[in-house]
Amino acid sequence: MFGEILRGLGTTFKHMLQPPVTIQYPEIKRPVRPRFKGRHVLERYDNGLERCIGCALCAAACPADAIFVEASENTDEERYSPGERYASTYEINMLRCIFCGYCEDACPTQAIVLKHNYEMSFYDRTSAIYTKEKLLVDLAEGAEPAPRQVEPGTYDRAIPEMEDPV
């Protein structure tokens, strides 16, 4: 019994002499791993159009049923995405989301991406529902959403030019 107490005190003194591993969180943010799945973000093309075409494959792939997508038709006067349709309503209920990344894998246009932002907090249930406007702003990088840069009636291709993977 006395030997166990000495061994416990030895462990305590050994760790007392080592530097602490505590990170002062609000001032210093710990880097995350490359495969970390954090806050959802809706991406845009370089010309400002939304990548989301309202296909709702992300909602179909979600095992927690946390995503709701409602599609509307694009017109030449009101164009939001390069396809025929766009997501007029896109909502993610973060209380239901399990951050599995299936929505990211199912998206054919890589519109929904799970970024590395882990600072998500809300005080009531209604603020836990991330709307399309909230998802288009990338809070991890502090960027504002890019405005639509395509004038009505000037976009003549349904699919934007893709880079050649040479």
Residue 66 lies in a domain: yes
Residue with tokens 């030895």: 10
Residue 63 lies in a domain: yes
Both tokens assigned to 22? 């505590």
Average pLDDT, the chain: 83
- Count up the domains in the chain and report the number: 1
CATH number at residue 62: 3.30.70.3270
Give the pLDDT mean for 131-152: 60
Residue 85: domain span: 32-136
What pTM, to 2 d.p., does this model score? 0.71
In the sheet that 85-93 helps form, which strands lie side by side, from edge to edge? 67-73, 85-93, 129-130
Cα four-point dihedral sign 146, 151, 157, 158: positive
Is residue 2 scored above 60 in pLDDT? yes
What's the pLDDT score for residue 143? 52
Is residue 164 scored above 90 in pLDDT? no
Residue with tokens 């009505």: 152
What is the band of 151 on the pLDDT scale with cuts at 50, 70, 90? low
User: C-alpha angle 116/119/124, rounded to 5°?
Assistant: 135
Between CA 138 and CA 160 the distance in angstroms is 22
Residue 158 lies in a domain: no
What's the pLDDT score for residue 158? 46
What's the pLDDT score for residue 7? 94
Residue 55 lies in a domain: yes
pLDDT tens per residue across span 63-121: 999 999 999 999 888 889 988 999 999 999 999 999 999 999 999 999 999 999 888 88
